[in-house]
Amino acid sequence: AQTVTQSQPEMSVQEAETVTLSCTYDTSESNYYLFWYKQPPSRQMILVIRQEAYKQQNATENRFSVNFQKAAKSFSLKISDSQLGDTAMYFCAFMKWGGGAQKLVFGQGTRLTINP
Amino acid sequence: NAGVMQNPRHLVRRRGQEARLRCSPMKGHSHVYWYRQLPEEGLKFMVYLQKENIIDESGMPKERFSAEFPKEGPSILRIQQVVRGDSAAYFCASSPLFPKDSASYEQYFGPGTRLTVT
């Protein structure tokens, strides 16, 4: 079974700073997807960024980028030029690849607060 | 293209009553997933359904919980004889039947139903 661990329950930074959220996972699969989801106070789950395990290049989406270290089973999220609207819970998630759609396995989450 | 719809958004039930949570997937999506989020925790997988079939129910409690996704109409998560420990946010997600590329494996989430058992 796969497990996902987020070791930082809470983080807080000033607006415009850069922040990195950590995520590690455990799996015996060689092909899989990794995701970061954002959950603001509205509780809506919003996909932030996606990484395919077979791709060596780290994914980027505007101010969001990942550091994917497959051998270390590490998948951290970097938010540059943080904004007040980035305040939310952030969840790292794992999905096994292949055989059609699969379930997501989530970490416990990191509560990120951006201070003005 | 309307997103994933869930209703009701908030549901209050007394202990022992039944709760029915509904989920309408995005247009063109035939995979539905249900997740539960207890307070201050991450989402936990419950069940994965396709039309008229339960594909994976490894996360469902053995008793009182059931799910269906009929040929017509929304997917239903049913909780019988609710207890206080069932109080949580229940999220539904959907994805396409035939993924065209890696992006098609993404699951699109509804706004959730917050169940409170008094």
Q: A43 vs B89: CB contact, 8 Å cut-off?
A: yes
Q: How far apart are CA A101 and CA A27, in angstroms?
A: 18
Unique residue bearing structure tokens 């509205």: A42
Size of interface A-B (CB pairs under 8 A): 59
Read off the tokens for B53.
Answer: 């079939």
pLDDT tens for each residue of B64-114: 999 999 999 999 999 999 999 999 999 999 988 666 665 567 889 999 999
Q: Is the pLDDT of residue A102 over 90?
A: no
Nearest CB neighbour to B95, from listed A43, A101, A109 = A101
Question: If pLDDT is split at 50, 70 and 90, which confidence band does A78 have?
Answer: very high
Task: Give Cα separations from B76 to A24, A54, A69, B49, B73 (angstroms).
Answer: 34, 36, 39, 10, 9
3-state secondary structure of A57: coil
**With contacts defined as CB-CB under 8 Å, which chain B residues touch A43?**
89, 111-112, 114
Nearest CB neighbour to A50, from listed B56, B106, B112 = B106
Q: How far apart are CA A20 and CA A64, in angstroms?
A: 10
Q: Does A43 contact B at CB distance below 8 Å?
A: yes
Nearest CB neighbour to A109, from listed B42, B95, B96 = B42
Higher pLDDT pick, A19 / B31: A19
Q: Does B56 contact A at CB distance below 8 Å?
A: yes
**With contacts defined as CB-CB under 8 Å, which chain A residues touch B69?**
none
Residue-level pLDDT at A99:
63
Q: Is the pLDDT of residue A17 over 80?
A: yes
CB A67 within 8 A of CB A80: no
Please, is B58 exposed, middle or buried when counting C-beta atoms within 10 Å of its C-beta (0-12, 13-18, 19+)?
exposed
User: Mutate which of B43, B108, B114 to disrupt the A interface (most A C-beta within 10 Å)?
Assistant: B43
Higher pLDDT pick, B42 / B7: B7
CA A48 from chain center: how many Å?
A: 8
Q: A43 vs B111: CB contact, 8 Å cut-off?
A: yes
Q: How far is A107 from chain B (nearest CA, A)?
A: 6
